[in-house]
Structure 1
């Protein structure tokens, strides 16, 4: 099932796949994607977007500060759109991975492994969501929460699809997908400062916890809730 953001998702992904090159001196024109990349280059693993100045981003992008205003009114507007763009990119990556999964156990392993791969790749999209979701301003946290709702909705649809294929059923699949999404993102926030080699154990533990959630949801007696 396609979400309402699929058109925007495809457009953003097409732009995201184009390589970003920097040239010496100031540029006459600038794209949103180049400004997004400039911001990602500057924030690193611990620095919030809110700590950036417009001039810093403009300097990193190789433009005059006034050129920034052709796309955004301020840093906060860039940050909100960058969070949305990062969420869309990651959702597409996870959706494609889950669609290749033929049964429940592979969907769990595939999703968690892709999540860790994105942290290891250090492209900035996942670390941005994790950082701003926990330490960002109120508006940034709201933007991240909005993206997590999409993750939950799409995971719920995939879980229901696979349960039907396996002739089984989850009680409250909406809460199951919410619990799994929160668990995985909490794991990500915990391991983001770890070395890639140290993340494997946390990922394996997370997979076991997800299986426990799914097993419980299949056998839950609603009359005793």
Structure 2
């Protein structure tokens, strides 16, 4: 539920000591990110709370966002972009002794312990957020799938393994990893290695399946 109505009254007070005269959209997003976490949804944020965290007068918020809901969608989008970059770099860095699957999943799970809270935000808002927030998370998941699909095709070509329906494979892996991530978010950290092992095995089974189906198609 948007907090626009309750926070829309003008702030006629004099500037408070410590308030910033100039602030950007990115500053407001960063301030909001410090307030959310694994057990707090962006839907609970108030405009005044975000303004206070950013060090600005509440009225200055409207120079950048229409309301807190618009800020929340921007926050989800930034979280998705940042997380895609982290996972993409992990896939690129993977070397022979540390497989692409292992490196990618470890990088993903590492974000549950990170300070940036990008993964927490996507996992939480994808399940308990408003329709608008869920839609924003779904858009980010589709971006994950598109990038993973391209990497799967590239790796299959490099290794001459073949791949059947790469877009479906990318969707299956993405949805599996995020579902398991949501489970891991509520588990103690000492359970994470076990979850990582399970995820790696599951993803490898999916990949083996698509390679087998590709080989069957070539043989038919």
Length-normalised TM-score, structure 2: 0.86
Distance 2:120 2:99 in 1: 24
Residue in structure 1 matched with residue 50 of structure 2 by the alignment: 57
Distance 2:71 2:99 in 1: 36
> What displacement does 1:196 show?
2.2
User: Cα RMSD over matched residues?
Assistant: 1.9
> What displacement does 1:47 show?
1.2
Structure 1 gaps of 5+ residues are: 1-23
Indicate yes or no: 2:24 matched with 1:31: yes
Residue in structure 2 matched with residue 3 of structure 1 by the alignment: none
Superposed structure 1 runs of 4+ greater than 6 Å apart: none
Residue in structure 1 matched with residue 102 of structure 2 by the alignment: 109
Give the direction of change, closer, same or farther, for the CA distance of 1:212–1:181 in structure 2 (3 Å limit): same
Distance 2:24 2:86 in 1: 23
State which of 35, 41, 44 in structure 1 corresponds to 2:34: 41
Q: Is the 8 A contact 1:72 1:78 kept in 2?
A: yes
Residue in structure 2 matched with residue 144 of structure 1 by the alignment: 137
Paired residue secondary structure (1:120):
coil
Indicate yes or no: 2:141 matched with 1:162: no
Q: Is the 8 A contact 1:104 1:162 kept in 2?
A: no
> Number of aligned pairs?
201
> What displacement does 1:103 show?
5.9
* CA displacement 1:75-101 (0-9 Å, x = unmatched): 011011111111111111111111122
Distance 2:61 2:97 in 1: 46
Paired residue secondary structure (2:66):
coil
Residue in structure 2 matched with residue 88 of structure 1 by the alignment: 81
Residue in structure 2 matched with residue 179 of structure 1 by the alignment: 172
Distance 2:40 2:30 in 1: 15
Q: Which has the larger radius of gyration?
A: 2
Structure 2 gaps of 5+ residues are: 1-16
Range 172-181 or range 98-107, more displaced: 98-107
